[in-house]
């Protein structure tokens, strides 16, 4: 009989490099495969499962909402959407929100919003400056915003209007600004390229530059948001506010959802400018409410900061002790390390065989974005397995 792997290879488009395990169940920070093996999950569905797996508050809210009303379209009002919009705007300090189904879609909407703002307030300016090594998603405008040629090349030509400058380099940003520039779009912590936090003053300086030039600041917090770095938005930890912010991943605890948020004149969509059939439906909004309320009730943002700091210190110690790690980086529970003469893919495999899920973002870089509920005992466990796995390579 064909295995799941063989069946998948036959019918599923080969876009993903998957780990050779079939995951069937999860609870807390653990998942189990179809052979009954347990894994400590430091991937969390790529920074999505903020409450871990099968959290009772989320399961309860989704079960109850599913039995009540799953979807009605945005032709009608629904209560969970308005309640969720109130909570998300209050946590972010942004004026208004629009719910999408993914991060890429939130960024597409952000790009449209900036272009609309340019038409209304900046003589039709439409240019957006983004960073090299950034990642904003796979749809065409988000891909054009993404500063990585490897993702763009097969789909050229890109849609016009994007310029890429080195991250953490204010002079490059200033030099790239022209009359046609309407916005700067950045991740406060670059995620997909291997967890590169913005330098302390960079985002504040970018904010000032945008203010002085009348540019919008768009922060893509799809990966860095939802408490992962210790504050609801990473930008709040840097002491700045964006004009436009995007969220997704952990927003609804694992249900597919994203958000476009904007403040002041930047929130300039009018009826007919944008839409979504499924975005912000009652089911995902009920899941989002349960997710965010659980984060607040359990102070998981503070926990993410302290657990992240502990994890970072343990990784720094392993770096010194093993001599196999060049750099450790992170902010809260967004962590990565660059390896010395070790393939990150090999380390991911060796760790998986020992019951630990990690993710390699590059040939020598491993990323850790665990659930926000991870305990220090679980971090100790992860470190023990990492050490063992590293010693075999």
Q: Enumerate the active-site residues.
A: 135, 220, 249
d(CA 324, CA 392): 12
Q: Are 100 and 109 within 8 A, CB to CB?
A: yes
Which has the closest alpha carbon to 184: 174, 171, 197? 174
Of 78 and 223, nearer to ligand PLP (C-beta) is: 223
In the complex, least distance from residue 243 CB atom to ligand PLP, rounded to whole angstroms: 17
Write the DSSP symbol of residue 284: H
Helix extents (H) in the chain: 4-11, 44-47, 56-68, 79-92, 103-121, 140-145, 149-152, 170-176, 202-213, 234-237, 282-297, 300-322, 344-353, 376-391
Binding site for ligand PLP (CB under 6 A): 102-104, 107, 135-137, 187, 191-192, 220, 222-223, 248
Q: Which residue, 103 or 227, is less far from ligand PLP as judged by CB?
A: 103
Nearer to ligand PLP, 58 or 104 (CB): 104
Q: Is the dihedral of CA 113, 129, 188, 253 positive or negative?
A: positive
What is the rounded CA–CA span in Å between residue 387 and residue 382?
A: 9
Provide, rounded to whole angstroms, the least separation between the CB of residue 15 and ligand PLP: 12
Q: By Cβ distance, which residue is nearest to ligand PLP? A: 103
Q: How far apart are CA 251 and CA 72, in angstroms?
A: 21
Residue 38 near residue 355 (C-beta atoms within 8 A): yes
Nearer to ligand PLP by Cβ, of 52 and 188: the residue is 188
CB of 223 to ligand PLP, least distance (A): 4
Closest distance of CB 140 from ligand PLP, Å: 12
Smallest distance, Å, CB 380 to ligand PLP? 28
Backbone angles phi, psi at 291, to 5 degrees: -65, -50
Residue with tokens 């997710």: 291
Given the complex with ligand PLP, which of 232 and 385 has the nearer CB atom?
232
């Amino acid at each position: 009989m064909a295995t799941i792997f063989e069946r998948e290879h036959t019918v599923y488009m080969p876009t993903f490099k998957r780990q050779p395990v079939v995951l069937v169940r999860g609870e807390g920070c653990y998942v189990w495969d179809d052979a009954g093996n347990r894994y400590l999950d430091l991937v969390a569905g790529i920074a999505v499962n903020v409450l871990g797996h099968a959290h009772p508050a989320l399961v309860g809210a989704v079960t109850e909402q599913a039995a009540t009303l799953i979807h009605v379209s945005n032709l009608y009002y629904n209560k969970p959407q308005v309640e969720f919009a109130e909570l998300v705007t209050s946590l972010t300090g942004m004026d208004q929100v629009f719910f999408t189904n993914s991060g890429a879609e939130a960024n597409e909407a952000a790009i449209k919003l900036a272009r609309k703002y340019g038409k209304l307030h900046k003589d039709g300016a439409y240019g957006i400056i983004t960073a090299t090594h950034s990642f904003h998603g796979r749809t065409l405008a988000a891909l054009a915003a993404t500063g990585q040629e490897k993702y763009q090349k097969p789909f050229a030509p890109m849609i016009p209007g994007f310029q890429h400058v080195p991250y953490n380099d204010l002079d490059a940003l200033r030099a790239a600004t022209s009359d046609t520039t309407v916005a700067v779009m950045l991740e406060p912590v670059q995620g997909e390229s291997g967890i590169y936090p913005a330098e302390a003053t960079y985002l504040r300086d970018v904010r000032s530059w945008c203010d002085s030039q009348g540019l919008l600041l768009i922060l893509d917090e799809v990966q860095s948001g939802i408490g992962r770095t210790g504050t609801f938005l990473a930008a709040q930890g840097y002491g700045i506010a964006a004009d436009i912010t995007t969220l997704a991943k952990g927003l609804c605890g694992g249900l597919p959802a994203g958000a476009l948020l904007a403040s002041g004149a930047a929130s300039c969509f009018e009826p007919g400018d944008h839409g979504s059939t499924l975005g912000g439906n009652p089911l995902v909004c009920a899941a989002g409410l349960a997710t965010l309320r659980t984060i607040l009730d359990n102070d998981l943002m503070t926990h993410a900061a302290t657990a992240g700091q502990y994890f970072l210190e343990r990784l720094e110690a392993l770096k010194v002790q093993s001599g196999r790690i060049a750099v450790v980086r992170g902010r809260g529970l967004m962590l990565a390390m660059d390896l010395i003469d070790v393939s990150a893919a090999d380390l991911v495999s060796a760790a998986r065989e020992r019951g630990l899920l990690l993710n390699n973002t590059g040939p020598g870089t491993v990323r850790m974005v665990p659930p926000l509920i991870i305990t220090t005992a679980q971090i100790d466990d992860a470190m023990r397995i990492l050490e063992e796995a590293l010693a075999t390579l």
